[in-house]
Amino acid sequence: MTGDPVVTVGPVAHGGHCVARLDGQVVFVRHALPGEVVRIRVTDRTKRFLRADAIEILEASPDRVTPPCPLARPGLCGGCDFQHVSQEGQLTLLTDVVREQLQRLAGIDWDGRVESVGPLLDWRTRVIWSVAENGMAGLRRHRSHDVIPVEDCPIAHPELPDVSRQLWDEPRVETIVSSTGQRLLVTDASIGDELEGQVDGVVASDGTVRAGTGTLVEEVAGRRFAVSGSGFWQVHPASATTLVDAVLAGADVRPGDRVLDLYAGAGLFSAFLGEACAPGELVSVEGNRRASADAGENLRDLPNAAVVHAPVERALRRGTLGAKADVVVLDPPRTGAKEAVAAIAALEPRRIVYVACDPAALARDLATFGSLGYGLESLRGFALFPMTHHVECVAVLARA
């Protein structure tokens, strides 16, 4: 250990690490906190920077706590970034990341604070487990294909099926528990009687139902949503309600409005937007076939709702979605909506509500929207993935 260097840790960076310098070179350090003095072990070298783990804490931050999981340490499970950080400390780190990305990439000064949505543990309702060569299910080491066997993951929902008690003969298996208590396995492997008794359905990786049900029911604000197999749904129990409330508040939909919900998934936002704009029109757009089919089922009771199965960028480019909209809501993948921004602005909506899971992609797209006449009216950040560096933002834009 004596050969490993000591550094003073600087600010947090996007990606679950902090920035330090070693002999003038930038080092991205995991398992550290701003202001700490730590001994590091370099894990990767590039021409521009180093990656390292903090292996000894010489001067600790007041926000440092003991990780609740024994695998949340250097060289072990890479699933969590901030188990060594207090809850308030995690909110501060996420806030600093969002603020820095907005300022650096979009020139926007944000004075908000990322909001907590609940406890740090027992929240993840969907987990994809990797399988080690010995057949045991686990999670991957940080930046590695190595699998760390996991018997008890503290952030996993306690009602998830337990996949640690059998050996698996395929590379991954997904476990899901819905808000209504249904449990699903997504796997091509055979399962034992004990595990089969824990679940309501088993679905193959291609979506084929192997046993029981292949569709789970989620409930939000008294409304039920069908979600097929491993189709997209928010993983924190509080996420769906939190985001629906934030989107509806930001969209300020009026009766008679024409509303587009882009990258709509199974229709979570579409359902509530459709209710709010009636007797106006709601168009729900989703490129994934299964999710679009789920949206069709979930919006069946709304006569003013239409479901379009097409990639959002293609639908906008071809004019499939019309020439005008009063409100546009978009919830793109992590890479953002770079190819859709100009076409959305061309619809001249009164409000744009952008739900983002990556602050860098959001900041980039907000800068483009700004150049097209849409300024940021408000932004809220939510810690929907406790113990990790991931943060969800809801940005509201209006015509300048």
Tell me the mean pLDDT per 10 residues along the chain, length 400: 88 98 96 98 96 98 98 96 98 98 98 96 98 96 95 96 94 97 96 92 95 97 96 96 98 98 98 98 97 98 98 96 98 98 98 98 98 98 98 96
Which of 262-274 are b and which e, b meaning 16 or more Cβ less than 10 Å from the residue's Cβ?
bbbbbbbbbbbbb
Q: Which CATH class is domain 105-117+237-399?
A: alpha beta
pLDDT of residue 328: 98
Instruction: Spot the catalytic one: 77, 80, 277, 357.
Output: 357
Q: Count how many Cα atoms sit within 13 Å of the Cα of residue 286 in the half-sphere of its side chain.
A: 22
Question: CA quadruple 146, 151, 152, 155: dihedral positive or negative?
Answer: positive
Position of tokens 């991931």? 390
pLDDT of residue 204: 96
Neighbour-count burial of 323, counting CB atoms closer than 10 A to its CB (0-12 exposed, 13-18 middle, 19+ buried): exposed
pLDDT of residue 1: 52
Of 92, 44, 101, residue with least CA distance to 64:
92
Q: Are 138 and 69 in contact (CB under 8 A)?
A: no
Distance of alpha carbon 178 from alpha carbon 225, whole angstroms:
10
Is 331 labeled as ligand-binding? Answer: yes
Q: How far is CA 102 from CA 196, 251, 364, 391, in A?
A: 47, 21, 8, 13
Q: Are 135 and 398 in contact (CB under 8 A)?
A: no
Is 80 among the catalytic positions? Answer: no
Alpha carbon 337 to its chain's center: 15
Looking at domain 6-64, which of 3.30.1490.190, 2.60.40.10, 2.40.50.140, 3.30.750.24 is its CATH number?
Answer: 2.40.50.140
Q: Is 341 helix (H, G, I), strand (E, B) or coil?
A: helix
Give this prediction's pTM: 0.97
pLDDT of residue 2: 58
Domains 6-64 and 105-117+237-399 share a fold: no
Is 263 labeled as ligand-binding? Answer: yes
Q: How far is CA 97 from CA 18, 112, 227, in A?
A: 10, 12, 32
Domain boundaries, the chain: 6-64, 105-117+237-399, 126-220
Q: Are 366 and 216 in contact (CB under 8 A)?
A: no
Give the DSSP H or E segment for 307.
strand 305-309
pLDDT of residue 400: 85
Of 250, 319, 248, 324, residue with least CA distance to 281:
324
Of 294, 292, 323, 291, residue with least CA distance to 308:
292
Neighbour-count burial of 107, counting CB atoms closer than 10 A to its CB (0-12 exposed, 13-18 middle, 19+ buried): exposed
Is 286 labeled as ligand-binding? Answer: yes
